[in-house]
Amino acid sequence: MKIKKVSKFDRRPQLDALIEELTETFAIRYEKPPTADQLEALERAQAANIDPSIMSGLMAFNYQKRLDDLAAPSWLVDTFRRYLDADPWPPSDKTQGQPIGIGSSKKRAREQAKLEPRVPGTKSQRLSDGSGSRSGS
């Protein structure tokens, strides 16, 4: 399937290539799945250990590859990184790259530690030590 190019970045060929790869991969959500015959041809090629570079001509192979790409948790981040590495930031651009997809579970603990401690004698503290019992009032 050839997708019409709406935007073209003349001085940034890697940006064009990135947008084309993203478009082709996300387009899989809107395409018809392979027919039973196409799936059978793929299964025969895989059973015969046909080289993947040759199988890439099969519609079912490309369809499955793009589905697998979308299902892979790191595919999108890896794709952006690959294109950024191939076409680095221009020297005149003073921005600095930020790590993508590197989260920290320590942030929540740091934020929680910043919160004020509970005021002594609040309802939840009274109930936890039995002092807030209604029967004792």
Q: Could you please report the per-residue DSSP string of 23-79? A: HHHHGGGGSPPPPHHHHHHHHHHHHTT--HHHHTTSHHHHHHHHHHHHHSTTHHHHH
Distance between start and end Cα atoms, the chain:
77
Whether 116 maps to a domain, the answer reads no
Whether 81 maps to a domain, the answer reads yes
Count of domains in the chain? 1
Identify the band that residue 78 occupies on the pLDDT scale cut at 50, 70 and 90.
Answer: very high
Residue 66 belongs to domain spanning: 13-90
pTM of the full structure: 0.52
Whether 26 maps to a domain, the answer reads yes
Question: Is the predicted pLDDT of residue 80 greater than 70, yes or no?
Answer: yes
How many Cβ atoms from other residues are within 10 Å of residue 65's Cβ? 15
Whether 103 maps to a domain, the answer reads no
Whether 54 maps to a domain, the answer reads yes
Identify the band that residue 36 occupies on the pLDDT scale cut at 50, 70 and 90.
Answer: very high
Whether 78 maps to a domain, the answer reads yes
Whether 95 maps to a domain, the answer reads no
How many Cβ atoms from other residues are within 10 Å of residue 61's Cβ? 21
Whether 129 maps to a domain, the answer reads no
pLDDT digits (tens, 9 = 90+) for 83-98: 888 866 667 766 666 6
More confident residue, 106 or 34: 34
**How confident is the model at residue 4, as a pLDDT?**
62
pLDDT digits (tens, 9 = 90+) for 54-64: 888 999 999 99
